[in-house]
Structure 1
Amino acid sequence: MKQVRPKKNLGQHFLTDLGIAKRIADTVDACPDLPVLEVGPGMGVMTQYLVEKPRPLKVVEIDRESVAYLNEHFPKLRENILGEDFLRMDLTKVFDGKQFVLTGNYPYDISSQIFFKMLDNRNLIPCCTGMIQREVALRMASEPGNKAYGILSVLTQAWYDVDYLFTVDETVFNPPPKVKSAVIRMTRNSVEHLGCDEQLFKRVVKTVFNQRRKMLRVSLRQLLPNLSTIDSPLTQHEMMTKRPEQLTIPQFVELTNLVEKELCVRTQ
């Protein structure tokens, strides 16, 4: 069977450097003994190294041409090649409710959506590794006070320890992307509960970062109209003069609790 043609509408950039492919595949060894789910295997450049590991492996691929290629070249994996859309999958059914490692050379245009799905299934995924756009990797690993620190940084680091492993040059892909890539590893931390309403936490984080150049006393008006006209523990808090990139995750938790109290007062 001829090689698969990269499809622009699927954001496909096939890795051609076998050394890098093996390095990425080996990142799953940080969580030994767990089964592995690879997203977007394409022609199996990483799969060929993952399948050698002594653990269950499944791959999910939305591209029918790639699925046919994988079925032909990886006959032992045939029953574990899932021709589905990862974003629509019920991850509890992949390994019968068991935990697994998520990995892949993730399509740039949906990488953030993939990680948000990971966060929604964090109890199933204690470890996630793979390659993404370098800019996104820097955001995910960024600390407070940096320009890259944002929504993805806070929501990911609330539940995972993020390690930026190495940068990958654009010349090792077909076709070459216009940006550099990076390999990251996310390992589930010990946090079981944030100590606040988790849905409101996400709303607060997204709201203030959508106006990241403004102080919180301004950006929070999206959630709390007329905020500047009231006197409350929230409006008097020192955080109100800060911008969102200056807040740590514990401070976002504290802010969420203050916002929740203010919302409760307004509904009474």
Structure 2
Amino acid sequence: MKHIPRKRFGQHFLADQGIIDAIVRAIDPKPGQAMVEIGPGLGAMTQPLVERLGRLAVVELDRDLAARLRGHAQLVVTEADVLKVDFAQLAQSLGALKTRVVGNLPYNISTPILFHLLGFVDSIEDQHFMLQKEVIDRMVARPATSDYGRLSVMLQWRYEMEDVLFVPPESFDPPPRVDSAVVRMVPRAEPAPVDEKLLSELVQVAFSQRRKILRHTLGKWLEQRNFSGECDLQRRAEEVPVAEYLALAAAIRQ
């Protein structure tokens, strides 16, 4: 039976074979590699991936789609909410210390998924995701641009990222109302040693009022912590490079 896309799961199924081939080439799967696909859906990328890998783990929330996928002997199917999946355990179940992660992420929860995976970055070799183009623009944004924000800082702290492929709406069934793209995320070998919770709070405060200079937002937050170090608070949050946010988070912990 034909599967009807479910709006509550944000389902838009990739249907353009040329785009599918381009994504698989960007991922470059090799035989025997441990890989997890998030939201395989109707299997547009699943089949070419598993043909190259030999075996593929998939995480699918839709029980009807999960039932279909279980009929494929080379798939290891986890029927679950991806936000509750332990990717370290999943890698171990595949006999690997680290796994590669790919997927056409549901656009309505893409940012929570990215932050969930941030907690398992030490168990991940790389990530390739289809996302809303606007989100990827924010992920890879440089300082002093309108797209630069909390998402930029938190992800650039742990990943090298690259926008590798533009995907138009007509590549999907049904077509979304936004442009899409594919991002490559490679965990940094030696990320700055800062407390993730502290950095997240710091950056959230800094960007809470983008139009104001940091003296009015981050300055008050630092005063509450009795921070006496140096920090130029006469700038807006978007003018501060990632490295400076990391250095400030490290200084606060000392």
Fold-level similarity (TM above 0.5)? yes
**Structure 1 unaligned spans of 5+:** 262-268
SS at match of 1:51: helix
Kindly report structure 1 stretches of 4+ aligned residues shifted beyond 6 Å: none
| Aligned pairs for 1:223-262 within 5 A | 223-224=221-222, 232-234=228-230, 237=231, 239-260=232-253
Q: Is the 8 A contact 1:51 1:57 kept in 2?
A: yes
Alpha carbons of structure 1 residues 20 and 231: separation in structure 2 relative to 1, 3 Å: closer
Q: CA deviation at 1:107?
A: 0.4
Alpha carbons of structure 1 residues 190 and 98: separation in structure 2 relative to 1, 3 Å: closer
Deviations for 1:97-147, whole angstroms, at most 9, x for unmatched residues? Answer: 620111001100111111111211110112000200000011111111111
- Of 213, 216, 219 in structure 1, the residue corresponding to residue 217 of structure 2 is 219
1:71 counterpart residue number: 70
SS at match of 2:181: strand
2:206 counterpart residue number: 208
CA distance in 1, matches of 2:134, 2:228: 39
Q: Is the 8 A contact 1:3 1:69 kept in 2?
A: no
CA distance in 1, matches of 2:63, 2:99: 24
Opposite residue 97 of structure 2, the aligned amino acid is K
Opposite residue 210 of structure 1, the aligned amino acid is S
1:21 counterpart residue number: 20
Alpha carbons of structure 1 residues 30 and 202: separation in structure 2 relative to 1, 3 Å: farther
Aligned residues: 251
Q: Is the 8 A contact 1:217 1:240 kept in 2?
A: yes
CA distance in 2, matches of 1:31, 1:122: 21
1:120 counterpart residue number: 119
Deviations for 1:138-186, whole angstroms, at most 9, x for unmatched residues? Answer: 1111111111011111111111110001211111211111100001101
SS at match of 2:51: coil
| Aligned pairs for 1:84-95 within 5 A | 84-95=80-91
Alpha carbons of structure 1 residues 34 and 219: separation in structure 2 relative to 1, 3 Å: farther
SS at match of 1:111: helix
SS at match of 1:223: helix
**Structure 2 unaligned spans of 5+:** none
CA distance in 2, matches of 1:54, 1:254: 41
Q: CA deviation at 1:91?
A: 1.5
1:49 counterpart residue number: 48
SS at match of 2:21: helix
Q: Is the 8 A contact 1:3 1:43 kept in 2?
A: no
| Aligned pairs for 1:178-217 within 5 A | 178-192=177-191, 194-217=192-215
| Aligned pairs for 1:133-212 within 5 A | 133-192=132-191, 194-212=192-210
CA distance in 1, matches of 2:30, 2:236: 36
Which of the two has higher C-alpha Rg? 1
Q: Is the 8 A contact 1:4 1:69 kept in 2?
A: no
Alpha carbons of structure 1 residues 91 and 197: separation in structure 2 relative to 1, 3 Å: closer
Q: CA deviation at 1:21?
A: 1.5
1:264 counterpart residue number: none
Supply the RMSD in Å over aligned alpha carbons.
2.2
Alpha carbons of structure 1 residues 250 and 30: separation in structure 2 relative to 1, 3 Å: farther
TM-score in terms of structure 1 length: 0.86
Tell me, yes or no, if structure 1 residue 81 matches structure 2 residue 80.
Answer: no
SS at match of 1:211: coil
Alpha carbons of structure 1 residues 34 and 214: separation in structure 2 relative to 1, 3 Å: farther
